[in-house]
Amino acid sequence: MSTALERHSAVAHRSSDWRVPVLEPRDDGAVERLAVRLGAGHPVLVFLAGMLAGLALIAGLSIFLGFLVTHVVLHIHGVSASDERVNDWLAAHRTASRTQVSLIGSIMSGGVVLPVVVGVTALCCALLRRWRIAAFVVFVLGVESASYRITTLVIHRHRPTVPRLEDLPVNASYPSGHTAAAIAVYCGLALLLTSAIRNGTFRVAIWSIAVAIAVLEAASRLYRGMHHPLDVAGGVVVGVASVCALVLAARAAAAADRQSGAA
């Protein structure tokens, strides 16, 4: 009997080592209470419903901000010129080494590196049966990408007038998808890691790396003439909102799982 209890305790201890507190449901959380009031349901369905609701809200917010920027903010005296002047200054100070750094920065959050980072992370989590972590990593990028694509279908802003270092659609300047993706993935992973790590030094180091990558990404897109500063700001909103939406969806799914287990 004692051996069985010891085995159970060891399993529980190993499980707690892999807990990510930020994805755990909270008793006083509005999303968790809503999931319970709605009758919970299968955790996967709850997660998907929360994720899709988040996507709709983020896309709507991004489109609203896009209209606000293109139809209001840029028509305020001096704003448009100031927004363009940053790109002009950066283009005038291009060097071979800075251009190479900007290329590396762009690649880190591009269409090749990020899917690999997300895929490897999700696969490792799946092998360890940490399904909510895997789902978070995969769908935070999915929500960000979908929100960006939906926004660019509605909001058309021309890219900076400086010589551009990449050949992309000229009327898809708002928002910066690379910036949003860097925040969603790298800062999202930093949030998960630092949620589970108590050592303050490690937490600071992890967040410093994640923020540095996001800043390098944003600066690279400005330097390469692909986005204006206001476009980068729009990307920041999409990236942060995507992380928040997936955290809430994961918590709602956990609350549904807890509710079904207690039934």
152: domain CATH number is: 1.20.144
Total domains present in the chain? 1
Residue 16 belongs to a domain: no
Residue 5 belongs to a domain: no
Query: Tell me, what's the pLDDT at 46?
Result: 85
* Rounded Cα–Cα distance for residues 230 and 176 (Å): 9
Q: State the greatest distance between any 2 C-alpha atoms of the chain, in Å, as a whole number.
A: 78
- Contact indicator for 202, 229 with CB cutoff of 8 Å: no
- Give the residue carrying structure tokens 């009997």: 1
Query: Tell me, what's the pLDDT at 27?
Result: 73
Both tokens of 213, joined, read 């990558």
Residue 13 belongs to a domain: no
Both tokens of 192, joined, read 């998960």
Is this model's pTM higher than 0.85 or not?
yes
Q: What is the CA radius of gyration of the chain?
A: 21
Residue 57 belongs to a domain: yes
Query: Tell me, what's the pLDDT at 3?
Result: 46
Phi, psi of 112 (to 5 degrees): -110, -50
Query: Peptide bond before 175: cis, by omega within 30 degrees of 0?
Result: yes
Residue 6 belongs to a domain: no
Residue 9 belongs to a domain: no
Task: Give residue-wise pLDDT tens across range 112-159.
Answer: 899 999 999 999 999 999 999 999 999 999 999 999 999 999 999 999
Domain that holds residue 131: 28-262
Residue 18 belongs to a domain: no
Q: Which parts of the chain sit beneath pLDDT 50?
A: 1-17, 263
Residue 152 belongs to a domain: yes
Alpha helices (H) in 72-187, listed in sequence order: 79-92, 96-108, 113-127, 131-154, 177-182
Handedness of CA 66, 68, 71, 76 (dihedral sign): negative
